[in-house]
Amino acid sequence: LSLSERLARRIVDGNDKGLDADLDEALTTKPALDIINDDLLAGMKTVGELFGSGQMQLPFVLQSAETMKKAVAYLEPHMDASEAGAGKGTLVLATVKGDVHDIGKNLVDIIVSNNGYTVVNLGIKQPVSAIVEAAEQHGADVIGMSGLLVKSTLVMKDNLLELNDRGLARKLPVILGGAALTRPFVDQDLAALYEGTVRYAKDAFEGLNLMDTLMA
């Protein structure tokens, strides 16, 4: 196996023995973010396919997720903090109520915070009340919600209605991301009911681009 394939395989197998050495070797050839995007996420994609088709059981998915987290944590110090500390704005970020998936959200945190924004990462299973409280406490410029379950898309819709009701929509643009969402659902259906701006980010980089656009 090539180094790239080996890294993807480590994620699929949830095998972190010797992971750091492989990551060190990969770092000699390409930047940390490329390792995440090309190699580690390829492994997560396979995990999703195996799980979805019933060929992989949940405890093994969890092991893969843990290995993915370790790999990302190991790579994080190697990412360029371009314009870090520039105080470009504040993103309050959460995985929505009822949803435990946080790998994607945490990647958004790493990429957005490495590009000059303050990110307040609330964690998983966050009710809208906690998101609103944090947004007020930290003077958020943007709210980011992540969710991977189909039911999370409905939670996001309810959350937007709640922001409308609280009169916060005009002040707080929202970025939504996660595998169960589609661009038309967010940019058309949800945008039609939210009284502020709501946008879909297909990945962490689009999340960053949206931050730049919304803060411009």
Annotated binding site for methylcob(III)alamin: 98-102, 146, 204
Q: Which is nearer to ligand B1M, 22 or 207 (CB)?
A: 207
Sequence-ordered list of residues with C-beta below 8 angstroms from that of 117, at least 6 positions apart, any chain: 88, 89, 90, 91, 211
CA–CA gap between residue 91 and residue 105 (Å, rounded): 12
Binding of residue 52 to ligand B1M (CB under 6 A): yes
Cα 87 from chain centroid (whole Å): 20
78 is catalytic: no
Shortest Cβ 143–ligand B1M spacing (Å): 8
Q: Is 146 helix (H, G, I), strand (E, B) or coil?
A: strand
Q: Which is nearer to ligand B1M, 10 or 101 (CB)?
A: 101
Binding of residue 204 to ligand B1M (CB under 6 A): yes
Binding of residue 73 to ligand B1M (CB under 6 A): no
Q: Binding residue for ligand B1M (CB under 6 A) from 10, 97, 101, 199?
A: 101
Between the alpha carbon of residue 37 and those of residues 31, 43, 150, 195, the distances in Å are: 10, 10, 24, 34
Q: Binding residue for ligand B1M (CB under 6 A) from 7, 75, 169, 175?
A: 175
Q: Which is nearer to ligand B1M, 61 or 84 (CB)?
A: 61
Residue with tokens 């190697």: 78
CA–CA gap between residue 29 and residue 38 (Å, rounded): 13
152 is catalytic: yes
Catalytic residue among 99, 109, 113, 141: 99
Residue 127, CB half-sphere, CA atoms under 13 Å: how many?
A: 3
Binding of residue 65 to ligand B1M (CB under 6 A): yes
With CB under 6 A, what is the number of residues at the site for ligand B1M?
Answer: 36
Residue with tokens 């009169």: 167
99 is catalytic: yes
Q: Which is nearer to ligand B1M, 19 or 21 (CB)?
A: 19
- Residues labelled as active-site residues: 99, 101, 152
